[in-house]
Structure 1
Amino acid sequence: MLEKELVQARGFKNTTSEDGTITGFQVRVRLLYYRGIWLSQLRPGDVTVDGTKYSADTIKWKFGNKLYTVGELSQTGDVMWNLLEPATLFIKQDGGLKVGYHNIKVDYRFSSSYMPPVIDTLISETTTGDHKRKVLLVE
């Protein structure tokens, strides 16, 4: 079940390599649009955690069982992000994050089929609400 907020508390954790080394962290987000969008409509933004900004081109997005880079998202017009399916964002950071509470901000845009291509729908604190959330990381 999805939580109301864009940033989901469930699924927030450090990520590890096959040998158990912590290589980064992941956070899940939901689509705040009344219908699904094709991945090529998505305009990934930055993720900020505790004041550290991670640029969109360093983040991988996971839909279903497949990871996508920002470049791959723009070329994927045959996969849909459904309303009830969270996306998982993977961010590389040696050692991951410390256990405890972290302030997370996620922004992204998407184009809408009924709007001119120049205009994107903005999902950010400036238009539709505050998409910052304090989330607890546990081991």
Structure 2
Amino acid sequence: MLEKPCIQSRGFKNVESHGKVIGFQVNIRSLYYRGLWLSQLRPATVTVDGETFSGDQITWTINDVTYTQAEMAELGDVHWGLLEPATLTVAKEGGLESGSHEIEVNYTYSCSYFPPVVDTILGGTHKRTLILV
């Protein structure tokens, strides 16, 4: 079951590859009642304890498929549903230390019935304190 906030406490963890910590993950949920096509999403930023990550540092996993932010711009046939969490994987050598972290996720999206200028107010910045164990 998803939590009400955009940033979910479940799924916050470091990511390993070949025995080496290469980054961390945080799950988010769409707050848009219709869900979103991936091409509607604008590139996200993730800020942890004041350090901001963007662009190629972030991948999205939706319905068990991982996409770069650049790939998502071209995918008008892949849907991120309202009840499906997205996993943001952030590349950060060594990951995060155990303990409390201030997490901020910022993303915007377009809607078919709003003019493009409205993109800047849809989505927005979401903040939450999470504990990495």
TM-score range, shorter chain: over 0.9
Once residues 80 and 2 of structure 2 are traced to their aligned partners in structure 1, the CA distance between those partners, rounded to angstroms, is 14
Q: Percent identity?
A: 55
Once residues 123 and 113 of structure 1 are traced to their aligned partners in structure 2, the CA distance between those partners, rounded to angstroms, is 15
Structure 2 unaligned blocks of 5 or more: none
Once residues 72 and 63 of structure 1 are traced to their aligned partners in structure 2, the CA distance between those partners, rounded to angstroms, is 13
Q: What SS does the corresponding residue of 2:44 show, helix, strand or coil? A: strand
Q: Does 1:116 align with 2:111?
A: no
Q: What SS does the corresponding residue of 1:124 show, helix, strand or coil? A: strand
* Residue identity matched to 2:53: Y
Aligned-residue offset at 1:123? 1.9
Q: What SS does the corresponding residue of 2:70 show, helix, strand or coil? A: helix
- Once superposed, which parts of structure 1, at least 4 consecutive aligned residues long, lie more than 4 Å away? none
Residues 2-25 of structure 1 deviation map (CA, whole Å, 9 limit, x = unaligned): 0111110000000000x2211100
Aligned-residue offset at 1:122? 2.4
Once residues 21 and 115 of structure 1 are traced to their aligned partners in structure 2, the CA distance between those partners, rounded to angstroms, is 44
Are 1:47 and 1:56, in contact at CA under 8 Å, matched by a contact in 2? no
Q: What SS does the corresponding residue of 2:43 show, helix, strand or coil? A: strand
Residues 35-79 of structure 1 deviation map (CA, whole Å, 9 limit, x = unaligned): 111100011221100000001332001101211111100000110
* Residue identity matched to 2:13: K
Alignment partner, residue 103 of structure 2: 104
Residues 81-129 of structure 1 deviation map (CA, whole Å, 9 limit, x = unaligned): 000001000111111000111000001011001112343142224xxxx
Structure 1 unaligned blocks of 5 or more: 126-130
Q: What SS does the corresponding residue of 1:57 show, helix, strand or coil? A: helix
Once residues 44 and 122 of structure 1 are traced to their aligned partners in structure 2, the CA distance between those partners, rounded to angstroms, is 13
Q: Residues 74-113 of structure 1: matches in 2 within 5 Å?
A: 74-113=73-112
Count of residues in Structure 1 that have an aligned counterpart in Structure 2: 132
Alignment partner, residue 39 of structure 2: 40
Alignment partner, residue 128 of structure 1: none
Q: CA RMSD in A?
A: 1.2
Q: What SS does the corresponding residue of 1:31 show, helix, strand or coil? A: coil
Once residues 56 and 132 of structure 1 are traced to their aligned partners in structure 2, the CA distance between those partners, rounded to angstroms, is 19
Are 1:7 and 1:133, in contact at CA under 8 Å, matched by a contact in 2? yes
